[in-house]
């Protein structure tokens, strides 16, 4: 008989309660609050990490702007050195000065080439308002709107206009 009484008490032979017991509202609320707190903490960490990444990116961009010209400046220093050496020379002649200026101009051209600065010297080309600025028109046998003289060369940096070429443009001769 003892076996029958034990079977009806809701306990197994080991003394444990039945596994289908539902947690109470307080337990559910505590579990939900704990999960919400964990999600909130994870969100705060993600937000802080995003903010730190944004700040690092801003610093990287600022440093890139600050030091972007460093390589170009290093290429220009020999040009300045050459000019200063020419001025300091006690035996300047017209020929030595001309030779020194030509060598210095070659140094500058090399620096421009390394920095991808390209010269715009459009003599004989058709006027392109994106690269040339017409200063005047000149009667000429050349095709209309072709460039017949260049007052000042233009320059592009990485295919972006830095300075337009200042030019004279052909117009038909009056008869």
Q: What is the pLDDT of residue 20?
A: 73
Residues of the chain with pLDDT below 70 are: 1-19
Q: What is the pLDDT of residue 15?
A: 52
Whether pTM > 0.95 for this model: the answer is no
Q: What is the pLDDT of residue 67?
A: 87
Q: What is the pLDDT of residue 8?
A: 47
117-175 maps to CATH 3.50.50.60: no
- Write the CA distances from 33 to 28, 30, 46, integer angstroms: 9, 5, 20
Q: What is the pLDDT of residue 65?
A: 86
Residue ranges covered by each domain of the chain: 117-175
Give the separation between CA 175 and CA 170, rounded to whole angstroms. 15
Closest listed residue to residue 118, CA positions, set 148, 153, 146, 151: 153
Q: Which are the contacts of 139, defined by CB distance < 8 A and separation ≥ 6?
A: 170, 171, 172, 173, 174
Q: What is the pLDDT of residue 1?
A: 47
């Amino acid at each position: 008989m003892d076996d029958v009484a034990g079977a009806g008490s809701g306990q197994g032979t080991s003394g444990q309660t039945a596994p289908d017991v539902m947690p109470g509202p307080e337990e559910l609320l505590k579990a939900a609050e704990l999960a919400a707190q964990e999600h909130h903490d994870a969100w705060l960490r993600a937000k802080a990490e995003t903010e730190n990444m944004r700040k690092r990116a801003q610093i990287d961009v600022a440093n890139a702007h600050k030091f972007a010209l460093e390589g170009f400046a290093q290429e220009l220093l020999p040009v300045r050195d050459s000019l200063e050496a020419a001025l300091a020379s006690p035996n300047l002649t017209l020929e030595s000065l001309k030779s020194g200026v030509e060598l210095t101009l070659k140094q500058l051209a090399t620096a421009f080439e390394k920095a991808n600065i390209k010269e715009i010297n459009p003599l004989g080309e058709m006027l392109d308002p994106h690269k040339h600025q017409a200063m005047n028109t000149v009667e000429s046998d050349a095709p209309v709107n072709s460039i017949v003289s260049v007052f000042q060369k233009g320059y592009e940096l990485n295919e972006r206009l830095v300075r337009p070429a200042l030019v004279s443009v052909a117009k038909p001769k009056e008869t």
